[in-house]
Amino acid sequence: MNRRASLISLALAATILAAGCGSTASQTATPASPATRLSLATSLATATGTWAVAVLGGSAASHNNFWQLFVRPAGARRWRLATPPGVASNGGLVLAGLASGAVLAGFRPSQDLSYSPLATTKDNGKAWTPSLLDAGLADVAGALAADPASGRLLALLTGGTAEISGSGGTAWTRLASRHTLAASAPGRRCGLGGLTAAAFSPSGTPLLAASCVRPRTAGIFAYADGAWHSTGPALPASYARQSVTTLQLTTTGRTITALLAAGSESAARVLAAWSADGGTHWNLSPPLPLRGARPTSASFGPGGAVAVVMTGGHAESITSTAGSWRPLPALPARTATLAPSPSGGWDALAVHRAKLAIWRLANGTGAWASTQAIKIPIAFGSSG
Amino acid sequence: MSGMNSGINVNDPTVVAAFKSALLHQGLIALLIFAVLGLAWITVRAWLPVAQAGDPAVPAGPAAAALAEPAWRQLLRIGFGLLWVFDGILQAQPKMAIGLPSQVIEPAAASSPHWVQQVVNWAGTTWSYHPMQAGAAAVWIQIGIGIWMLASVRGPMSRLAGLAGAGWGLVVWVFGEAFGGIFAPGLTWLFGAPGAVLLYVVAGGLIALPERAWHTPWLGRAILAGTGLFLVGMAVLQAWPGRGFWPGISHHQPGTLASMTQDMAQTSQPGFLSAWVSAFTAFDEAHGFAVNLFTVVALALIGAAFLTGQRRLARPAVIAFTVLCLADWVLIEDFGFFGGLGTDPNSMLPFALLALSGYLALTPGPAAAVQPASPEPAKSGWRERIRPASVRRSVATTSIRSVAAIGAFGLIILGAAPMAAAQTSPNADPILAQSIAGSAAALNFPAKPFQLTDQHGQAVSLASLHGKVVLLTFLDPVCTTDCPLIAQEFRAAGQLLGPAARHVELVAVVANPIYHQVADTQAFDRQEHLTQVPNWLYLTGSVPQLNQVWKDYGIAAQILPAGSMIGHPDIAYIIDRAGRVREELNSDPGPGTTATKSSFAVLLANAARHALRSS
């Protein structure tokens, strides 16, 4: 055979062969599992009512899932739909309590909308006053916080920045970014991963929560005197090998409540922390081992009550005064979140397609009782 | 892959009708080309006696010389010529204009590396922007190349046909087949690696070889050796552990081969074919290891036999390879074009043709008997050739095959020229927008006046825009879907208008009775990069003011419950310089892809230009 022809043939076949081999051999290593993250489904107790956020819809497609806001006015036993009108809620809803029981709802961006319309109600959702945040709220339940005393708002935004407003939600300015906070001294000590929640202390100090890479460090930061300070709880030595993520941070009355997640996989556990002095001293709950489950929703009630819904239809609750986590009876199917009930127990909000079912666990009883069902008039297909 | 998929339904009646119409018109032109050429040929032969057969003045023409074309080349030329014609006919499927990027190109590139997807995306986007021209171009170019190959037996025209086939094949292989998937995982000869059209390229290259290479002894051995080495490589890949070809069933799921054939069997096709493929799937699931072992051994043995270059080994190997190819073509490739949008009969027929031609080329054939086609012109210079007598002789001796080849070249130009012309525009064909919006309603009545507030807080009335063409629409500033897209289309339309844009005002009125503050319009403008558009106005007002405008322009802004956005129709009005409504467009942006957005922008700009001209 002609030598040149042989060489060309060889080169051609070798190229094709190499391409085939090369394209099949590449197997990238699986990245480490991300930190536990809660859904936007949660509840909020105010002086005039209890609020809950849950997603309903007909399909897995995000544009047919609509987040809804429900309210049970103080003294009432029944819930009603209170979603603010005028904006598609496919991206999610986040809540913040204002003064005198008023509530601020923020729409998360979705599809081609990149900023967050806001709505305020002073009458438990009968009427809403629209406003606007010219940026997108982050995809965490604690993305929006309000200081009832000053009327300032704090927002955690997509892209990992935090903005603070003047009184009444006007004149927004940048307070911090993940980058600047990570570069600060407390941020470096934490090995800051990402921002996870925003809150105000009872005295009106802006607080940001974060995930920390450095073990045994709870990432809660306070902005005072023009600088960020670490204000999270000191964790015992049993967390010496575990990274900690602050899943949720909220202020009720004089108490700051944080829900923390530590460790991963079989060693994963959550714990609650309470501070009654603005973050100087904290009480820690015992750890709640997750045993393979994953927390999906956290809710907060009066007296520092915390309830955590986990995968597998399991939930646990604790109060700041109780010594240990208390398992709740097996949750009703498709429970999205829990909300404090009028009787001192919890209401389970179970969602299925366009229907919300309310189940009540009265304090001291051992079973959930169905109390209400609401059919939601979702306009399927209206978002694309 | 952004841009590639126009998002339009492949069966969209507007596009399908337009594609059929384009093909019909171009088909008539094609017939006209051949008719004119045929008539001219008959006329020339009648008027120029030098062309009569038996005239001693006429040298031995191509017809006589065609006998000397070696069998291997004849096989390649006719085989691949027919394949090109068949592929061209497949390209004329009604769904092809819209469907090729989304149903053929995109899936082919889906598992390839990012850089391959980037390359392919460019071509897919180009096609999506001009589906009529691209679809028709593919039809006529491929039919033209096929006819050209079939008609041109030898000489420069024949070699050019081979080159055209190789060149176009390369374009199709890179952009249409994503390099035949050779950079994607799961590469296997059984499914068509290295891409059918790469074999067309090889065949075209062989057809384009100069005549002095036709009878060289190494040619056949080179073709067989190249094929053999490739088959051995494919045998190694087929045998490679962990690629999923050994088990018939893995983790209660069909193995790679059975999974592929299972999918094939479910595509729409004649029942008996589906039954054959299903039967093979069941057989592979039951005997996966044996099937793969047979494949590996067969490919390796056939490849080795080809590599020897010995005729006595090549002969049974070619027969076995042809049988294997046919079996694969029927049972695994499912003829290549059933179900979905088939663009060719896949790789097995080209493989068999290539191997067979290699075998035929092992025998040099009657090279000694070949006579030069026309030695005289070769000796004469160009001055001699352009002398009237020589030209007359050349024209008179032109064969019908040459006329057909010229006609085929005309077909290629017929397809390529409109596509090339379309390429000069970076904007999508308005047919996409028309397919979504339907036909615009031509109107002529005075536009209802209004006075609202713009995004800067300034009062604006319709009367203050007198003397300009107004493109008017209604947008919700907190809308998540259509409104941002419509705003982008308006912005792009303004850019398309160029200097004429100063005579056009792009106007939107808020269509949300809750979020209607000036701050809302400003946020929307920032989001859609409209703050620097000089002729953009986003108007709002009090709810009573807005209600009046909505009523006047037939807009029902409905507050829907439970987390839905405001319901309102997507409408655009074209108001001429005299303040008269001249057109109403359905501005629903449809899928909102880059192609449809561009197409709507063209539609709006065209409407504005029309209004400028008519007022």
Question: Residues B25-51: pLDDT tens digits?
Answer: 999 999 999 999 999 988 888 887 654
User: For position A51, which CATH number holds?
Assistant: 2.130.10.10
Looking at residue B196, its amino acid is: A
Cα–Cα distance measured from residue B161 to residue A180, given in angstroms and rounded to the nearest whole number: 65
Q: In the predicted model, is pLDDT for residue A12 greater than 50?
A: no
Query: Contact B217/B263 with Cβ under 8 angstroms?
Result: no
Report in angstroms the alpha-carbon separations of B58 from B50, B156, B385.
7, 20, 15
Q: In the predicted model, is pLDDT for residue B52 greater than 80?
A: no
Chain B residue nearest residue A90, CA to CA? B563
Residue B252 or residue A106, greater confidence: A106
For the ranges A41-45, A261-265, B606-610, which has the lowest average pLDDT?
Answer: A261-265
* B56 burial via Cβ count (<10 Å: 0-12, 13-18, 19+): exposed
Is the Cβ pair B480, A384 closer than 8 Å?
yes
Q: Would you state the pLDDT for residue B374?
A: 47
Question: To the nearest whole angstrom, how far is the Cα of A163 from the nearest Cα of chain B?
Answer: 16
* Mean pLDDT within B152-167: 94
* Mean pLDDT within A101-110: 95
* B386 burial via Cβ count (<10 Å: 0-12, 13-18, 19+): exposed
Question: To the nearest whole angstrom, how far is the Cα of B486 from the nearest Cα of chain A?
Answer: 11
Is the Cβ pair B561, A377 closer than 8 Å?
yes
| Chain centroid offset of residue B574 CA | 35
Q: Please tell me the pTM assigned to this model.
A: 0.82
Q: In the predicted model, is pLDDT for residue B178 greater than 60?
A: yes
Residue A116's SS3 state is strand
* Mean pLDDT within B467-474: 96
Of B237, B562, B592, the CB nearest to A378: B562
B184 contacts on A by Cβ (under 8 Å): 23
A383 within some domain: no
**Domain residue limits at B251:** 218-364
* Mean pLDDT within A208-224: 94
A11 within some domain: no
Query: Contact A146/A152 with Cβ under 8 angstroms?
Result: yes
Closest by Cα among B149, B563, B100 to A58: B563
A384 contacts on B by Cβ (under 8 Å): 480-481
Query: Contact A267/A218 with Cβ under 8 angstroms?
Result: no
Beta bridge partners of A51: A44, A71
Please state, rounded to an integer, the average pLDDT across all residues of chain A: 88
Q: Would you state the pLDDT for residue A170?
A: 86
Query: Contact B401/B152 with Cβ under 8 angstroms?
Result: yes
Question: To the nearest whole angstrom, how far is the Cα of A119 from the nearest Cα of chain B?
Answer: 10
Of B243, B560, B592, the CB nearest to A379: B560
Q: Would you state the pLDDT for residue B66?
A: 47
Answer left, alpha or beta for residue A314, where phi above 0 means left and psi between -120 and 50 means alpha.
Answer: beta
Query: Contact A145/A162 with Cβ under 8 angstroms?
Result: no
- Are B447 and B544 in a shared domain? yes
B314 contacts on A by Cβ (under 8 Å): none
A8 contacts on B by Cβ (under 8 Å): 222, 226
- Are B352 and B492 in a shared domain? no
Question: To the nearest whole angstrom, how far is the Cα of A91 from the nearest Cα of chain B?
Answer: 10
A1 within some domain: no
Q: In the predicted model, is pLDDT for residue B341 greater than 90?
A: no
Q: In the predicted model, is pLDDT for residue B59 greater than 90?
A: no
Which string of b and e fits A61-93 if b means at least 16 CB within 10 Å? ebbbbbbbbbbbbeeeeebebbbbbbbbbbbbb
Q: In the predicted model, is pLDDT for residue A18 greater than 60?
A: no
Q: DSSP letter for B503, please.
A: G
Spell out where A74-218 has E strands: 80-81, 93-97, 103-107, 116-121, 129-133, 144-146, 153-157, 161-164, 173-177, 192-200, 206-212
For the ranges A35-39, B133-137, B224-228, B281-285, which has the lowest average pLDDT?
Answer: A35-39
What residues contact A332, with CB distance under 8 A and at least 6 apart?
Answer: A348, A350, A357, A359, A368, A370
Beta bridge partners of A274: A257, A283
Q: Would you state the pLDDT for residue A177?
A: 95
Is the Cβ pair A1, B514 closer than 8 Å?
no
Of B182, B478, B481, the CB nearest to A19: B182
Is the Cβ pair A114, B565 closer than 8 Å?
no
- Are B453 and B595 in a shared domain? yes
* Mean pLDDT within A52-72: 88
Q: In the predicted model, is pLDDT for residue A49 greater than 60?
A: yes
Question: To the nearest whole angstrom, how far is the Cα of B221 from the nearest Cα of chain A?
Answer: 6
Query: Contact A195/A181 with Cβ under 8 angstroms?
Result: yes
Report in angstroms the alpha-carbon separations of B218 from A256, A302, B11, B315.
86, 91, 51, 17
Of A1, A81, A90, the CB nearest to B221: A1
A294 within some domain: yes
Looking at residue A276, its amino acid is: A
- Are B404 and B419 in a shared domain? yes
B513 contacts on A by Cβ (under 8 Å): 86
A87 contacts on B by Cβ (under 8 Å): 478, 480, 514-515, 563, 565
Q: Would you state the pLDDT for residue B74?
A: 95
Is the Cβ pair B515, A6 closer than 8 Å?
no
- Are B357 and B305 in a shared domain? yes
* Mean pLDDT within A137-158: 95
- Of these ranges, A299-313, B65-79, B533-547, the one predicted with the greatest mean pLDDT is B533-547
Is the Cβ pair B113, A112 closer than 8 Å?
no
φ, ψ for residue A371 (rounded to 5)?
-120, -20
Q: DSSP letter for A234, please.
A: B
B523 contacts on A by Cβ (under 8 Å): 115, 132, 134
- Are B521 and B389 in a shared domain? no
Q: Would you state the pLDDT for residue A19?
A: 43
* Mean pLDDT within B61-78: 75
A68 contacts on B by Cβ (under 8 Å): 562-563
Confidence of residue B431 (pLDDT cuts 50, 70, 90): very high
B52 within some domain: no
- Are B391 and B458 in a shared domain? no
* Beta carbon pairs, A and B, within 8 Å: 166
Answer left, alpha or beta for residue A46, where phi above 0 means left and psi between -120 and 50 means alpha.
Answer: beta
What six digits make up the tokens of B9? 């339904």
Pairing mode, strands A288-289 and A269-275: antiparallel
Pairing mode, strands B459-461 and A161-164: unpaired
Chain A residue nearest residue B520, CA to CA? A132
B373 within some domain: no
- Are B114 and B74 in a shared domain? yes
Residues B257, B262, B263, B267, CA torsion sign: positive
Cα–Cα distance measured from residue A130 to residue A105, given in angstroms and rounded to the nearest whole number: 10
B565 contacts on A by Cβ (under 8 Å): 86-88, 382-383
φ, ψ for residue B168 (rounded to 5)?
-65, -40
Q: Would you state the pLDDT for residue A320?
A: 82
Q: In the predicted model, is pLDDT for residue A15 greater than 60?
A: no
Neighbours of B25 (CB within 10 A): 11
| Chain centroid offset of residue A5 CA | 67
Of B193, B216, B562, the CB nearest to A66: B562
Domain total in chain B: 3
Half-sphere exposure of B557 (CA within 13 A, CB side): 28
Cα–Cα distance measured from residue A160 to residue B252, given in angstroms and rounded to the nearest whole number: 44
Please state, rounded to an integer, the average pLDDT across all residues of chain B: 89
**Domain residue limits at A209:** 33-375
Interface test mutation site (partner A, options B478, B510, B521, B524, max chain A beta carbons within 10 A)? B478
B399 within some domain: yes
Note every long-range contact of B296-301, with CB atoms under 8 Å and residues 24 or more positions apart, other chains counting: B296/B235, B296/B238, B296/B239, B297/B235, B298/B324, B299/B189, B299/B231, B299/B232, B299/B234, B299/B235, B299/B238, B300/B231, B300/B232, B300/B235
Closest by Cα among B228, B229, B296, B227 to B257: B296
φ, ψ for residue A198 (rounded to 5)?
-130, 150
* Mean pLDDT within B460-465: 95
Q: Would you state the pLDDT for residue A286?
A: 94
Residues A359, A362, A364, A365, CA torsion sign: negative
A25 within some domain: no
User: Which residue intervals of B210-287 are DSSP H helices?
Assistant: 218-239, 256-265, 271-286
Question: To the nearest whole angstrom, how far is the Cα of A265 from the nearest Cα of chain B?
Answer: 25
A249 within some domain: yes
Is the Cβ pair A384, B520 closer than 8 Å?
no
Chain A residue nearest residue B569, CA to CA? A382
A89 contacts on B by Cβ (under 8 Å): 563-564
Q: Would you state the pLDDT for residue B339?
A: 66
A9 contacts on B by Cβ (under 8 Å): 222, 225-226, 229
User: For position B589, which CATH number holds?
Assistant: 3.40.30.10
Q: In the predicted model, is pLDDT for residue B379 greater than 80?
A: no
Note every long-range contact of B148-151, with CB atoms under 8 Å and residues 24 or more positions apart, other chains counting: B148/B81, B148/B405, B148/B408, B148/B409, B148/B412, B149/B77, B149/B78, B149/B80, B149/B81, B149/B84, B149/B207, B150/B77, B150/B78, B150/B81, B150/B82, B150/B85, B150/B404, B151/B401, B151/B402, B151/B404, B151/B405, B151/B408
φ, ψ for residue A262 (rounded to 5)?
-130, 150
Is the Cβ pair A23, B523 closer than 8 Å?
no
Q: Would you state the pLDDT for residue A20?
A: 41
Cα–Cα distance measured from residue A73 to residue A49, given in angstroms and rounded to the nearest whole number: 4
- Are B384 and B448 in a shared domain? no
A110 within some domain: yes
User: Which residue intervals of B397-542 are DSSP H helices?
Assistant: 400-423, 431-437, 482-497, 518-527
Cα–Cα distance measured from residue A10 to residue B307, given in angstroms and rounded to the nearest whole number: 11
Of A1, A85, A111, the CB nearest to B225: A1
Cα–Cα distance measured from residue A288 to residue A303, given in angstroms and rounded to the nearest whole number: 19
A21 within some domain: no
Termini Cα distance of chain B: 43
Of B333, B364, B395, the last residue of a domain is B364
* B442 burial via Cβ count (<10 Å: 0-12, 13-18, 19+): exposed
B220 contacts on A by Cβ (under 8 Å): none
- Are B133 and B251 in a shared domain? no
* Mean pLDDT within B389-398: 74
Is the Cβ pair A67, B563 closer than 8 Å?
yes
Q: In the predicted model, is pLDDT for residue A4 greater than 70?
A: no
Of B236, B480, B560, the CB nearest to A90: B480
Is the Cβ pair B226, A113 closer than 8 Å?
no
Question: To the nearest whole angstrom, how far is the Cα of A83 from the nearest Cα of chain B?
Answer: 6
Question: To the nearest whole angstrom, how far is the Cα of B562 from the nearest Cα of chain A?
Answer: 6
What six digits make up the tokens of A94? 């986040």
- Are B174 and B319 in a shared domain? no
- Are B209 and B225 in a shared domain? no
Is the Cβ pair A88, B564 closer than 8 Å?
yes
Cα–Cα distance measured from residue A78 to residue B53, given in angstroms and rounded to the nearest whole number: 104
Q: Would you state the pLDDT for residue A34?
A: 34
Looking at residue A64, its amino acid is: N
Report in angstroms the alpha-carbon separations of A74 from A82, A103, A343, B493.
14, 14, 11, 54
Domain total in chain A: 1
For the ranges A58-67, B281-290, B478-487, which has the lowest average pLDDT?
Answer: A58-67
Which string of b and e fits A154-172 if b means at least 16 CB within 10 Å? bbbbbebbbbbbeeebeeb
Interface test mutation site (partner A, options B564, B566, B568, B588, max chain A beta carbons within 10 A)? B564
Half-sphere exposure of A126 (CA within 13 A, CB side): 6
